[in-house]
Amino acid sequence: MVPDSASEREMTVSGSSEDGDVLDLADDEGWEDLEPDVETVKVVCLLCDVVFEGAQSMLEHCKDNHQLDIVSIRKDLGLDFLDVVKLVNYIRSEVKVGVQKPDISAKSNFQDEQYLLPVLEDDALLWNLHDIVGQDPDDVDEDTGGVSVKAPSGTTTDRNDENRVAELEMKLQLAEVELEARRNEIKFLQLKFEESLDRDDARERDMIAASSGMGPARNAPMLGNTDSSYFASYSGHEIHETMLKDTVRTDAYRDFIYENKHLFEGKTVLDVGCGTGILSMFCARAGAAKVIAVDNSDIIDFARENVYKNGMGEIISCLRGKIEEVVLPVKKVDIIVSEWMGYCLLYEAMLDSVIWARDQYLTPDGLMIPSHCTLHIAPMTDSEYIEDHIHHWKNVYGFDMISMYKDIYNDVMVREVQDFAVPAESAPFLRLSLKTTKTEELTFASKTFACELKADIEALDGFVIWFDTFFLTRPDGQVPTEAKAEEYVREGGECVAFTTGPHGKRTHWQQGVLLIDYRDKQSIPLKKGQVVNGTIGYQKRRDDNRALDINLHWQIDDSQQKWKQSWSMC
């Protein structure tokens, strides 16, 4: 491609006609054939991966192929130089997280100071912005996509000097942007130092409280003495990388927040168990006036750094501690957002803390994100898995190693179950509306279920548990009783939703598998149309309130033969 003249940088040699003794190029043999050096500028498209040799070519491509006219946007919104810098970085940041058509309808969408920082390293477009903003908006010619064509007002040397001055002014402005970023980093370091002092003070207060017999905050849930290991398990990078790369999970939160920015504009948000801070930053970008991010693990230090690296330190406050014990800088919040769901939904009992935070801080018309969850159970038949992972131990190179799987029938296994291994429609056994659910509803002895087989099976090998999650926009919104996430969204339900079931895309939660112990009983084949029915119970363990015991009683049709078994998650 031929380089675009508007984006080329020409290196020229000039001198004074009155000072010929200093340098006389005409007398030097060979210099008369010297051509100006040209530095080719590679500019990446704002909305795709195409690379252009010049800013103007890229801008024309955006206008013709993506209906994105930067010049017109600049005129329509009255943008100055730094506004255009923010606009470019805003568009690149939105595209980077998967937003194909960033919202550029209003200047307020990209006024955050974070957009002064380059998203693309060595972004050549930023260094060539003088082609776009080097003159008043009225001087921009929309037909040429850049600088209006005017008659020359001086010599070539004059024009080169003017171009050089414009480029130096632009570099100076970008240097000022970089300096502001460094100032923000210094503020961040100062804040970390101050918060380390606050933590020391908090430890001292805790010691005084312990010695005086004072307990945790009034009405706070008592979760036993296992919290240290629980919070420590969320301090490392790997677990957060796994969760962030779970696109079903993360995309659902992002999509709900970004598609409903009107719910967040000017609001105060509480993020319970903020982790890396991703949900807090989604909310800040959606227009929240203030976000309070709380976590009791070491990951809060990384969250705080992430917040400042992305220029959101004025909006997001990161607090370390249990939500039941920290002191928030506000009395009430408009929205609570949290990714609290555990294996089989209720493992780790994080929902208890979210409910406590709701009762303490959420306004009466406040919004819970997510808003609803439903637990499902279904029968499972998987002869291949049973043969490969259980019967295998009966004869290992001629040796009986059956003791190797003695606990497999006692523990809930977390694994991916194939669609074909579920021979019946699932039965919902617990529906939670997060705006009204009480903690006592999270333990139960006998929720009923019934699943009719859709095909003949050789044996009922076990049961599968998963959950659906819904994000409704209205605090008083209701999910239809029989709604399943994947069907509800497909049929046009007014919400974002996802399933962790075997029929949906894989998530890091996978499914909870309860294998039936047939060591002292015989499995039997079942026919299509027969109904597996019974009751299921969830109980917290006495020695570890974050662990879970699941109890099942079941029978086939109205048979007098009944089975029962218990499994644990700890």
Q: Which of 68-77, 158-167, 252-261, 505-514 has the lowest mean pLDDT?
A: 158-167
Q: What is the band of 518 on the pLDDT scale with cuts at 50, 70, 90?
A: confident
Catalytic residues, which ones? 339, 348
Q: Using an 8 Å Cβ cutoff, are 126 and 88 in contact?
A: yes
Cα separation, 291 vs 305, in Å, equals 15
Cα separation, 535 vs 548, in Å, equals 16
Q: Using an 8 Å Cβ cutoff, are 443 and 469 in contact?
A: no
The dihedrals phi and psi of 234, each to the nearest 5 degrees, come to -105, 15
Q: Using an 8 Å Cβ cutoff, are 334 and 267 in contact?
A: yes
CA nearest to 281, candidates 237, 311, 322: 311
3-state secondary structure of 371: coil
**Whose structure tokens read 């101050």?**
194
Cα separation, 94 vs 102, in Å, equals 6
499 pLDDT higher than 60: yes
What type of residue is 318?
A: C
179 pLDDT higher than 90: no
CB atoms under 10 Å from CB of 85, counted, come to 25
**Is the model more confident about 112 or about 325?**
325
242 pLDDT higher than 60: yes
**CATH 3.40.50.150 residue ranges in the chain?**
220-339
Cα separation, 99 vs 55, in Å, equals 22
99 pLDDT higher than 90: no
What pLDDT does residue 39 have?
Answer: 52
Q: Is cis: bond before 152, omega within 30 of 0?
A: no
402 pLDDT higher than 60: yes
Q: Using an 8 Å Cβ cutoff, are 21 and 27 in contact?
A: no
Burial 316-348 (b: 16+ CB within 10 A, else e): bbbbbebbbebebeeeebbbbbbbbbbbbbbbb
The dihedrals phi and psi of 300, each to the nearest 5 degrees, come to -60, -30
Q: What is the band of 206 on the pLDDT scale with cuts at 50, 70, 90?
A: very low
**CATH 2.70.160.11 residue ranges in the chain?**
372-569
The contacts of residue 382 (CB under 8 Å, 6+ apart) are 417, 418, 421, 461, 462
How many Cα atoms occupy the beta-carbon half-sphere of 103 within 13 Å? 13
* CATH code, residues 372-569: 2.70.160.11
3-state secondary structure of 73: helix
The contacts of residue 49 (CB under 8 Å, 6+ apart) are none
What type of residue is 420?
A: F
263 pLDDT higher than 70: yes
SS3 letters for 497-541? EEECCCCCCCCCCCEEEEECCCCCCCCCCECCCCEEEEEEEEEEE
Average pLDDT over residues 47-56: 88
CA nearest to 372, candidates 428, 436, 427, 283: 436
Q: What is the band of 114 on the pLDDT scale with cuts at 50, 70, 90?
A: confident
Cα–Cα distance list, 127 to 2, 81, 123, 141, 175 (Å): 20, 12, 7, 21, 11
Q: Which helix (H) or strand (E) holds 320?
A: strand 316-320
Give this prediction's pTM: 0.62
What pLDDT does residue 49 have?
Answer: 87
Q: What is the band of 128 on the pLDDT scale with cuts at 50, 70, 90?
A: confident
What are the tokens at 36? 């100006």
What pLDDT does residue 468 have?
Answer: 97
In CATH, 220-339 is 3.40.50.150: yes
* 333-379 pLDDT tens trace: 999 999 999 999 999 889 999 999 999 999 999 999 999 999 999 99
Q: What is the band of 163 on the pLDDT scale with cuts at 50, 70, 90?
A: low
Cα–Cα distance list, 450 to 504, 531, 533 (Å): 21, 6, 4
473 pLDDT higher than 80: yes
* DSSP conformation class of 366: E
DSSP for 271-314 reads EET-TTSHHHHHHHHTT-SEEEEEESSTHHHHHHHHHHHTT-TT
Residue 123 Cα to chain centre, angstroms: 25
Residue 141 Cα to chain centre, angstroms: 41
Strand-strand pairing, 462-471 and 372-380 = antiparallel
What pLDDT does residue 162 have?
Answer: 63
Q: Using an 8 Å Cβ cutoff, are 183 and 189 in contact?
A: no
404 pLDDT higher than 60: yes
Cα separation, 368 vs 335, in Å, equals 6
Average pLDDT over residues 126-138: 61
